[in-house]
Structure 1
Amino acid sequence: MSRATRRTQLPTTACWKRGFTSCRSPTRPRNSRKKCAKCWRATDKHGYGILTDMRIVLGVGGDGAYEHALAWIQALGFEQPQVILAAVIEPPRPPVVGVVAPFPEEVLLGAVQAQEAAAQERLNALQQTLQAQGIESEAVILHGQATTRLLELAEERGADLLALGGTRKGTLQAFFVGSVARAALTSAKQSLLIAYTPPPADAPLHAVLATDHSEYNYRCIDLLLKFAPRNLKRIAITTAFDLDEETLESLTRSAPAVKESGVEWIIEQLHERNRRVCERLRPLQAACESVVVEGLPIPSIREAMDETQSQLLILGAKGHGLIERISLGSVSYHFAVGERANLLLLRVAE
């Protein structure tokens, strides 16, 4: 079935992707997983409070993983970003703590100086690259623990986004990179971009926006509009919910619509909320797709990313209302550290 595309309204149509079943299946086993999708097109060209001086702190390490995060910053097309390139010189670590004697002072000094020289050369090259692309940048070299210093810098500079690169290799170096990401996930006040792979060079950018439809999450979506990533071509607005028998019975007693239609009523309600989110996202000029999955959040989001061929996961925070409690859980830590997915985690002040 072909999709209808109009500028004045957002009609629902059959999904463009295979594998999504109809939302109106008359019967199904209670314990079966169900997924469904509807598609809309948002083509409004009006702006929405765009940040024209968006400040981004990019952690630059010697392993080159930062290149993934920088590539995403460039690919997403933020409006006039200001990138603060930050390299952190950490104290040398003995091969085996407590077994190998401390390094002589001159050895430590030489190691630090070598790291500083390499970091400065790296930062200079990055600044030249960004300048050629018309992106304003600043280079900073810090000393201390990378986790602490990057978070402090982001706070001091009033950064809107902290960008970190990672690696999927199971090495000791990956462990230390992961420790920075874990600390940022738990402690950073800024939004986070954590990238493990670069964006596709010859394919459109697709993203999954996982939402629990909480008030906080809607504020995060407004922040996404201010960030204004203009190069996203498709956004799959995804909501997962998981109902146990006790909750379903409670809903059946309190809501006549649930008693009459069962889970179908919940699915339609979530699709309608996703449609409203799509309307909010009009200024991004991206195609929108609503995906509602009955199942646990983590496998549901993973499946949505696979089926929509999305390279980026966008998350806000979980909510506290009835619909919110049965939908999206707190999954950012899992996807950033456990599965190491490319993640844009939006955060706003409470």
Structure 2
Amino acid sequence: MVRFKRRGLLCTPEYRSIYSRNLESLIVKLTTDNGLEGWGEALAPVGPEIPGNIISSLFKPFLLGKDPRQINVIWNKLYDSMRERGYFTGFMVDAITAVDVALWDLYGKSLDLPVHQLLGGAFRSEIPAYVSGLPEKEMAKKIERAQQWKQQGFNAIKLHLGYGIKEDVEIMNQLREHLGADFRLMVDAHWQYTVPDAIRLGRELEKLNIEFLEAPTLPEDVDGHVEITRSLDMAVAIGEAKRTKFQFKERLVKRAADVLQPDVGRVGITEMRNIAVLAETFGIPIAPHLSVGLGICIAATLQVSAAINNFYILEFQPSVFPNANKLVCNSLVCEKGRYLLPDGPGLGVNVDEAFIRENCSNPLLLTNGRRLS
């Protein structure tokens, strides 16, 4: 588990979720008996020791001695291991995710190929990105920061709102006025609205040509999202809280969204591919969620994003990115509105293990007992 700065929890009035005052993440290294190493990361911004303990207590006995190339078999056996007890989401799948990413990294390194090649090839070598958030409190500062991003070549920004319909609309109105009609703007409402209010907000945002409304109401309310999606001409985006193809299936069948946002740090590479293929059969694009994942998570996200046919756009967190890059020796790049795809074997990044050990509490290292040919 990696942590920057001191431990502590933070609650903010506009968001329901608990946040850590630090950047926290679950990092796992898998090692084969012929010396290959695979690195995985799960998005665990609060309590990374919880999925870490699941791996060490439940998964480790199963993983030792298995052939790490059997990725789909391993995913299903880990998922099945606690399924009958109802543990098929949350921390359980976070733990599976960290292992899954590490297995794909191992597999790529064993063949000297990047993961996107193992997934069938890259549709793109540059990944279109939008800036996530303008953290300044004053509106003038938000506008100034947005204009700076525009000058740097970015043409899309998502605002994290949910302050109330009037205030949300006023913020977006001012940004539209200063950035111009062609600049792409999105809104993340962080599940703050009832269904009727989300529809009211959406109708106002449509007048400003906002590209999508993310997380408009509670994530469990599938039928509410169906009503919002049917009521609005603008796209509705959901998915960061969901973990598996099984959860996304119901939302696809009911047409509860126009854009899906699974997070590789929560679903892993195996399920991200499955979710993307499933969404493609419904004509739904994938805009991967990417919040506080660090270098390994970002690299995994880029590998999958390159290989997704129905890819839409990827999130870029400028406040996280410099720290995320501290975990890898060959820095990831996001500039002029796009990420560059790492082309090395596996995830395409070289992990700085010395840095991780210096910043890691309760290191979790697994050794696999089978040799890769």
What TM-score do you get using the length of structure 2 for normalisation? 0.22
Larger Rg computed on CA atoms: 1
Structure (1 or 2) with the greater strand fraction: 1
